[in-house]
A = this chain, B = another copy of it.
Amino acid sequence: MILIDYRDKRPLYEQVGEKLIGLIVNGALSPDEKLPSVRNLAMDLSVNPNTIQRAYSQLEQEGYIYTVSGRGNFVSNPDSWRKDHMSAALSALEEALTGAYEAGIDKDQVLSALEKIYKGGRNK
C-alpha cells in the first residue's frame, strides 16, 4: 500500500502522510473508509507506531482524515480538504512556473508539458 524510501531526506511521517494524501485525493480511499490502524500500519512499514501516529495527526489537522478515538481513523469528506488542497497545489504551481520562467524555459515547452499531463490523464 505504501513504500518508504529511506534515501529520501524528508522525515518518515511526512513521507507516509504525503503518500496517504495521494491515495485519498486519487480516490483510492473513499470518504469514511477506515484507514489501517496506527499499530498495523506501523508493523507493515516496520516503523515505530509513534511515527504513524504523527503522520495521522497531521493529516487530521489538515482535514484529510478524522479520528474517532477507540475506533480508528477515517478519510474525511472532500469538502474538508478540497479547497485548501487546491490552493496549495496552485501556489506550488505558480512557484514552479516562475522558476521555469527564470530558468529561461520557453512558453511552448511549458505548454507541451501541460498538454502531456492534462491529456494523458491520471498516469501516476
Contact = CB atoms under 8 A, between A and B. Distances in A.
Interface in A74-111: 82, 85-86, 88-90, 92-105, 107, 109-111
Among A25, A92, A122, find the residue whose CB has the most chain B CB atoms closer than 10 A: A92
B93 A97 contact: yes
B86 A101 contact: no
Among A9, A25, A97, find the residue whose CB has the most chain B CB atoms closer than 10 A: A97
Copies in the complex: 4
Interface in A7-26: 7, 9, 11, 22, 25-26
26 contacts: A6-B66, A6-B71, A7-B68, A9-B67, A9-B69, A11-B69, A22-B102, A25-B103, A25-B104, A82-B104, A85-B103, A86-B103, A88-B103, A89-B99, A90-B105, A90-B109, A93-B99, A93-B105, A93-B113, A94-B117, A96-B97, A97-B113, A97-B114, A101-B118, A102-B122, A110-B114
